[in-house]
Amino acid sequence: MAWRKVFRDRLRALRNSDAVHREIDEELLFHLEMRTEENVRRGMSPEAARREAEKRFGRLTQIKELGYEVRGGGWFETLWQDLRYGARMFLKQPGFTLIAVLTLALGIGANTAIFSVVNAVLLRPLPFAEPERIVWMSDTLPQLGAAPTSLPEFLDWKDQNQSFEHVAAFLNSSMFLDTGGGTPDTPVGIVTPETFALFRVSPILGRTFTDEETLPGRVRVAVLAHSMWQNRFGSDPNVLGRRIDLDGVAYTIIGVMPEGFSFPDRAQLWRPLPIDPNKLDRGPHYLRVVGRLKPEVTLTQAQAEMSALAARLSAQHPEKNAGHGVKLELLRDVVVGNIRPTLFVLLGAVGFVLLIACANVANLLLGRVGVRQKETALRTALGASRLRLVRQLFTESMMLSIAGGVAGLLIAFGGVKWLVSMAPTTIPRVHEIAVDPGVICFTLLISVATSVLFGLAPALQASRPELTDALKEGGRSSAGRQRNRLRSMLVISEVALSLVLLIGAGLMIRSFAKLNQIDPGFNPDGVLKMGVSLLPSKYPDDERVASFYQQLVERAAATPGIVSAAAISDLPLLGSNTSDYFTVEGRPPVAKQEEPSIEYHVVTPRYFESMGIPLLAGRDIGWTDTKQAPNVVVINEAFAQRHFAGENPLGHRISLQGQERDPLLIVGVVGDVRQLGLDRMPVAEAFVPYLQDPLSKTYMRSMTIVARTKSDPAAIAGSLRAALTSLDQSLPVYDLKPMTEYLSDSLAGRRFNLILLTAFAVVALLLAAVGIYGVISYGVTQRTHEIGIRMALGAEKGDVLRLVVRQGMIMALCGVAIGLLASFALTRVMESLLFGVSVTDPLTFTVIALLLTSVALLACVLPARRATKVDPLIALRYE
């Protein structure tokens, strides 16, 4: 029968291919057929019978839609329907889709990358059993604050406390491992036997150290880290008993630790900390101490007990321990302490970038609300509920943000790799940074949150039930006005947010510029530096070491292209290496706690000349300043000003605490260098001749050679290395680089923050500019008609330009004003990252506000120029 086919066709056209739809169609079709047959039985013609049956149904679509929603699969079916619809629409507008997804991908990707750093460094527990019970223990000294402790103090802490299961001491050291084909610098943990029990790790092969193996003559044993066992010994199960050569001394391998255990950070192997019960000196403080709290003891209780213990020790040993205390901190806080503010600032910054990205995409979607108004109106007329429409729009937002999330994840994978490769060594736990399942969950979460953020306003706007308005016209209705207001608000917040980011970046740039302007006190241009270490096995005594360094420095100076060369124990910028108390001869004695301290260096002659440090008075150290000659010292200007104000320091003598030798005659004064870092003021320093240094036997086997070249230091590096290794083929030479590079390396941490923050700020600026541009050019399109009338009535191009630009600039200036206020409130969180600028630096605030305003102006002028080209005749016909 013909009418049956008509029904089928019609229903087929309406229905979707999925099962639930088919079932509902079939049920309704069955009803229609039954009714039609009934009508025919009552004597109607087939056509009339069909019409009557159809008429009785009324709103077929609405019935069906209700059906889908009620029937079991309805939720998923609707979702599937919306997904397909959304996909079709996005594919039809590839430009819009690409921009939206890319914007979101940038925002989500940057957040994911920074979050993976935060996750690895701050959030993930340290890779030890019950890390929250591991405590870092420092000695607090009257003038220096928290510091490492001395061996006897550690032993007292260990033996006399009630709060800790274990207390262990360690040194984070590095030694030269003889591999047969070179002697790479290898991180070594020098530890007490309790260390392994404290971290609750057991060796997978062999054993760890016994207490006897800390005694003199017994310490030549080593435990390997898993990676060392794998890489150097091919996971050989028979590795126990084999020997390795560290700093020219053979150690017997007694154990292998499981994979993943590395404490101190990056340790490749461990050897026992030597404890000689006959030589316990409370003077030198060099040991790091960790403890594991007993289960029932809190940190506060432990702190109280240890403070009491420290007071007791101070009373027992007033000559060395007077005023010493103990400070307990969670290990985790010590490991990540310094980086925390940096990471929070970066996390805040990427959060802003994401908000700006959301505002931009919301703006794009709002722009399309007008375009889609007829579609939504039609759907409403056909019976779609508002909820249904919102749901559909939300599904589309979700699709965008999931696509953005996936693309963002790809960006994050690349970003994390890049971050890790350029992260300064000052970031702890760098090797743990990765995009792991936790990070992926985070990405998923922010993608969903993002879609709510940018999708909510457009969805509510688009689904406003204003059918008649919508069907008539788009822009000039009240809904249109409201939408424009919403878009303006979004742009204002974008501008405000990016201003905050730009000011943050601006402050970092200013700090960095200030740091780069700082005179380090030496002239790095044309200078090469390299580390050199003498293995004790080859150079067992002072004389051999002394003569070798003299040869080395002379050979370096004789290399073609080199003007002068010298060696020093520790270069400027390295921080405090050896600091000593001293007294000035002939001055009244001061209390032990108030003795002044100096930074102590050992140098060869011509160090100051090679570094370009000016000699202000007296003379340089010479090769004639030997142990047979009177002891001499060169001091820096800060020393002279602080301790010899108004006096000539030359001719005075000073005595260094802990050195049992004749007082040192001050023979020279040199200019200040920034010893503790470019961002720290110069401190008092003393330079002692290499040949007179009493500690050379144990400490000064590693020195840094500095060589001033005539021209390009990088070109000479190779011949310098060759000249030095020609003296000793197995000589470990490391960190050979131009001094300028060394100088800029010292700012690596700051440069890292600077680059990231600037990158985020630039992205923010671009997004904000795109946002302003989008809103203004949309506004111009909407107002074409009005502009046409104005021009027909005699408005000049300039008037139109002003009209449009003014609209945009009002938004931009509102955003700038809000952003300035927010910056005043927010930049103080960056205080610890800045140098030499105030957190409300007026110059930065002004320049950045002007910069953003100019970019906004540009973003307004481009569409405004289009407005001036409107042809009144065409515009008046334009709808």
Question: Which residues contribute to the site for other proteins (CB under 8 A)?
Answer: 23, 26-28, 30-31, 33-35, 56-59, 62-63, 66-67, 69-71
We find the least distance from the C-beta atom of residue 386 to other proteins, in angstroms, to be 18
| Minimum distance from residue 25 beta carbon to other proteins (Å) | 11
Q: What is the DSSP letter of 677?
A: -
3-state secondary structure of 585: coil
Nearer to other proteins, 24 or 852 (CB): 24
Taking alpha carbons only, the member of 746, 748, 690 closest to residue 572 is: 746
Question: What are the structure tokens assigned to 223, written together?
Answer: 């435990």
Task: Tell me how far apart the alpha carbons of residues 191 and 19 are, in angstroms, rounded to a whole number.
Answer: 70
In the complex, what is the shortest distance from the CB of residue 471 to other proteins, in angstroms, rounded to a whole number?
A: 24
Nearest approach in angstroms of CB 339 to other proteins is: 55
CB of 56 to other proteins, least distance (A): 5
Query: Among residues 71 and 266, whose Cβ is nearest to other proteins?
Result: 71
Min CB(71)–other proteins separation in Å: 8
d(CA 804, CA 865): 9
Closest separation in Å from C-beta 16 to other proteins: 17
Distance (Å, rounded) from C-alpha 487 to C-alpha 458? 10
**Contact at 8 Å (CB) between 439 and 121?**
no
From the CA atom positions of the chain, what is the Rg in Å?
A: 38
Query: Cα–Cα distance between 405 and 157 in angstroms, integer?
Result: 52
- For other proteins, give the closer residue by CB, 35 or 514: 35
Measured from the CB of residue 6, what is the shortest distance to other proteins in angstroms? 18
Nearer to other proteins, 33 or 609 (CB): 33
| Angle value at C-alpha 837, between 835 and 843, nearest 5 degrees | 145
Provide, rounded to whole angstroms, the least separation between the CB of residue 91 and other proteins: 33
Q: How far is the CB of 13 from other proteins (least distance, A)?
A: 20
The DSSP result for 517-568, as a single string, is HS--SS--TTEEEEEEE--TTT--SHHHHHHHHHHHHHHHHHSTTEEEEEEE
What is the smallest separation between the CB atom of 21 and other proteins, expressed in angstroms?
A: 14
Measured from the CB atom, the residue of 30 and 76 that comes closer to other proteins is 30
Q: Which is nearer to other proteins, 50 or 332 (CB)?
A: 50
User: Of 57 and 85, which has the nearer Cβ to other proteins?
Assistant: 57
126 CB contacts (<8 Å, ≥6 apart)?
134, 331, 332, 335
**Residue (of 437, 335, 347) closest to 128 by Cα position:** 335
Query: Rounded distance, CA 400 to CA 104, Å?
Result: 8
The CB density around residue 604, as the number of other CB atoms within 10 Å, is 26
- In the complex with other proteins, which residue's Cβ is closer, 11 or 253? 11
Query: Whose Cβ is closer to other proteins: residue 67's or residue 184's?
Result: 67
Beta bridge partners of 687: 601, 634
Is the bond preceding residue 264 a cis peptide, omega within 30 degrees? yes
Query: For residue 504, how many C-alpha atoms fall within 13 Å in the half-sphere facing its CB?
Result: 39
Q: Which is nearer to other proteins, 35 or 242 (CB)?
A: 35
Of 71 and 232, CB closest to other proteins:
71
Per-residue 3-state assignment (H helix, E strand, C coil) for 297-365: CCHHHHHHHHHHHHHHHHHHCHHHHCCCEEEEEEHHHHHHHHHHHHHHHHHHHHHHHHHHHHHHHHHHH
